[in-house]
A = this chain, B = another copy of it.
């Protein structure tokens, strides 16, 4: 990968997202990123203040990909659209929720906070008071990022159920004693056939049922 034109913040962030997608959060190092850009590690610091800045930058990008809700929708329709859009945006870049969860990324720019503002706006439309909005916002955000986390990490990750690691699952299934964990082992067999986005939608609809009930009280 030869490079004549000078680097830029955008090019660094492009490469960082690509590298993180290929190698995971651990694989995203200043030295590897520089190599990918055909440059020495220290050159990156001309365009980015440090690694935390890179992680904030890629997180902000993902936040800014989230569509704004249609204000003509009823409030719970807006919440649903926002939540699903947020889930989809981050599911495309699984390292970003990981960086957020560990506080390695914490973007506080307008672009990153806009989706949150839209969500909060929809919840105020529902008629919650301030504390009610705060709780509802926390509930929706928790479900989104928790779902991403379970999607991304652990025994339900694509990685684990990918073709390569299929044998690991078999080994795992054999190690889980159905006599000791009867319910879990019954469930384990059907995890590979799940559509995670559909599961998130189901969870979201259950939460929204509860939100609507709470708003009406």
Contacts and interface: CB of A to CB of B under 8 A. Distances in A.
A135 to B, nearest CB: 4
Given A102-B98, A102-B153, A175-B108, A182 B138 contact: no
A39 interface: no
A42 interface: no
A199 interface: yes
Contacts of A77: none
Contacts of A206: 136, 139, 207, 210-211, 213-214
Interface residues of A, number: 69
A25 interface: yes
A164 interface: no
A133 interface: yes
A199 B134 CA distance: 8
A203 to B, nearest CB: 3
A184 interface: yes
Interface in A33-54: none
A191 interface: yes
A30 interface: no
Given A205-B210, A206-B139, A207-B139, A184 B113 contact: yes
